[in-house]
Amino acid sequence: MTSGLLSPFKKGNISIPNRVVMAPLTRRRATDNHIPTEIMADYYAQRATAGLIISEATAISPQAVGYSNIPGIWNQDQAEAWKKITLAVHQAGGHIFMQLWHVGRVSHSLLQPGKNLPVSASAIGINEMINTPEGHKKTETPRALETSEIPGIVKDYTDAARRAIDAGFDGVEIHGANAYLIDQFLHSSSNTRTDIYGGSIENRARFLFEVVESIIQEIGESKVGIRLSPSNTRYGMDDTDPAGLYGYVINKLNNYNLAYLHLVEPMLSLDEYPHMIRDVARFFRTVWKGALITAGNYDFEKGESAVNEGIADMVAYGRLYISNPDLPRRFAEAAPLTEPDTSTFYAGGERGFTDYPILPLV
């Protein structure tokens, strides 16, 4: 009998052969100018048996960059390179969404255009080390965005979404998670603004919903997913009322016929954060009315249980997809899983990228 995790799923714009999702995975194989490379087409095509591939986080503008050699989607050269990747995935029978990314304060002036300071909701630093073209440097205190600048960033997201669809992607995922710019606006620890984007939960969520609504107007709501991480504490993230904040956000997202909501389980210890939500997907399952993806250190058994118990409709796998291009087949056949080589996660080239073994055809 076909397992829940390996059964087909259809809802709205999502019609996929299984519920195994390839999570967005930064791999840093693009050029210095943030143009996707030929090897990336091989990498994604190898993994096209996923029910859905969500691309690595992709910068929407030069200001959105926080890491070297990550891909972008702000110019036509980048879009043309992505076309080869989406074609390869589709020819292999796969489905792929692009994750749209602005890192906000998780950057450094050495990675920013004109060596300007990174931007954020507020001028609050994170005291982390970050890799720059001149080696590891401590992050800087970001510049708070002016109210008048925010519509321009919303437009960057919207233009990036249009380029992604024109480049052949089946949809886009708005990256509202993991301590990046949208997340920085949402949380009380990183947003102390006094304008219409700060203060109340409604105001802190305003930027997110302006991005959502603008992209929907451009490409249609059924081609838009969103990723959120209500219990992420990395990079200084915290909130006085995470249940209230994300209850509001997720309930309001129900007003749109989105492709899916992608929720990340807590990845770090919450021992010092008793107010944070432990079981994120389970907690918000009754709030969210649409298709739900859960992510966070799942193996086959845990993913199968999440689907069969109705906690989520799909399960996203990260590290396992790095080293097991044919992950759904390995799950189906209870085949051994290859362990990933962590030293090659962010190193350029084929090793640890496209050279992991695929089960031979019988």
pLDDT of residue 13: 77
57 within some domain? yes
Place of tokens 């749109």: 256
> In this structure, is residue 207 part of a structural domain?
yes
Residue 360 located in a structural domain: no
pTM above threshold 0.85: yes
Cα 328 vs. chain centroid, distance in angstroms?
21
**Residue 349 forms part of a structural domain:** no
Q: Which domain holds residue 37?
A: 9-344
Told to judge if 273 belongs to the known catalytic residues of this protein, a careful annotator would answer no
Q: pLDDT value at position 2?
A: 55
46: left (phi over 0), alpha (psi -120 to 50) or beta: alpha
- Predicted local confidence at residue 1, as pLDDT: 39
Q: Which two tokens stand for residue 110?
A: 């050495």
Label each residue of 134-192 as H, E or C: CEEEECCCCEECCHHHHHHHHHHHHHHHHHHHHCCCCEEEEECCCCCHHHHHHCCCCCC
Cα torsion 27, 246, 282, 337 to 10°: value is 0
> Residue 205 carries which DSSP code?
T
Closest CA to 293 of 211, 227, 247, 220: 227
1 domain-assigned? no
Output the CA torsion 320→322→327→331 (10° steps).
Answer: -20
| CA gap 25, 90 in Å, rounded | 19
Q: Which of 67, 180, 248, 356 is catalytic?
A: 180
Q: Among residues 257, 256, 259, 314, which one has the least CA distance to residue 285?
A: 314
The domain total for the chain is 1
Residue 356 lies inside a defined structural domain of this protein: no
What pLDDT shows up at residue 12? Answer: 81
- Residue 258 within a domain: yes
Here the tokens at position 241 are: 């009322």
Amino acid at 5: L
Nearest-5° Cα angle at 163, 160 to 168: 130
Question: pLDDT truncated to tens, each residue of the chain (362 aa)?
Answer: 357 999 999 988 789 999 999 999 999 999 999 999 999 999 999 999 999 999 999 999 999 999 999 999 999 999 999 999 999 999 999 999 999 999 999 999 999 999 999 999 999 999 899 989 899 999 999 999 999 999 999 999 999 999 999 999 999 999 999 999 999 999 999 999 999 999 999 999 999 999 999 999 999 999 999 999 999 999 999 999 999 999 999 999 999 999 999 999 998 888 889 999 999 999 999 999 999 999 999 999 999 999 999 999 999 999 999 999 999 999 999 999 999 999 999 988 999 999 999 999 86
**What are 346's two structure tokens?**
């962010």
Instruction: Tell me the CATH number at 292.
Output: 3.20.20.70
The verdict on residue 185 lying in a domain is: yes
Both tokens of 86, joined, read 């989406």
Q: What CA–CA distance (Å, rounded) separates 11 from 258?
A: 10
Torsion angle of the four alpha carbons 194, 157, 141, 191, in this order, in degrees rounded to the nearest 10: 30
What confidence score (pLDDT) does residue 267 get?
87
Report the alpha-carbon distance of residue 27 to residue 40 in Å, rounded. Answer: 9
d(CA 164, CA 80): 10
